[in-house]
Amino acid sequence: MDVKIAESWKVRLQAEFEKDYFVQLTDFVRQEYQAQTIYPPANLIFNAFEKCSFEDTKVVILGQDPYHGAGQANGLCFSVADGVRVPPSLVNIFKEIKADVGKSAPKTGNLERWASQGVMLLNATLTVRAGQAGSHQKKGWETFTDAVVKLLNDEKQNLVFMLWGKYAHEKGAVIDDTKHLVLKCPHPSPMATGFAGNKHFSQANTYLQANQLPEIQW
């Protein structure tokens, strides 16, 4: 199956694209885009892979679903398109960055600037129906993104994995913390507590520097 995804990922995930579950997933997603309003726009489904190559990946942040409001989702977890109001979870992320590394919140919630520095912003589910959170869960996306996490764990060294919330903790259970830095805390959602003060951003940069890798300009 020919999936439109960045070449650095395609060569490593091609076997996944040939599996029955992925063929069925592709059929489901294609039908959904034809019959429903689906986010993100179809050309941005694999945006996380387009904006951050396998070779360049240094940090992995795991999300769950794309945003399901109009114009929000841009294919990167926690990120929104330029000109869209910054969602509450991302507001809390920016607050922690300010408290941790002293960088003020930007005017946009578009996190492509992180992706271009090697931050893989991966949602577990890559598509969603408008206004229906979780509507594309358990259709095959989670199996695919589990394979992506396993690939990164197995074939890379000295990655930083940021796992925020129970869902991300469980999805990251496969990660070998003897070869990668695994940072865990509660979800940044205003409905959760415990995200503030995690200092994940400074810890990530300290670890990258210790492994002779450029730090992230958060």
Quote the strand ranges of the chain, DSSP E.
Answer: 38-39, 59-63, 119-123, 128-129, 160-164, 181-185
In the block, tokens 């990120």 appear at 79
What is the dihedral sign for C-alpha 126, 59, 84, 81? negative
Q: How many CA atoms lie within 13 A of 44 on its CB side?
A: 21
Catalytic annotation, pick one of 20, 27, 65, 82: 65
Quick check: 203 and 181 in contact, CB under 8 A?
yes
If 0-12 CB within 10 Å is exposed, 13-18 middle and 19+ buried, where does residue 2 land? exposed
Q: How many CA atoms lie within 13 A of 87 on its CB side?
A: 20
Residue 65 annotated in active site: yes
Active-site positions? 65
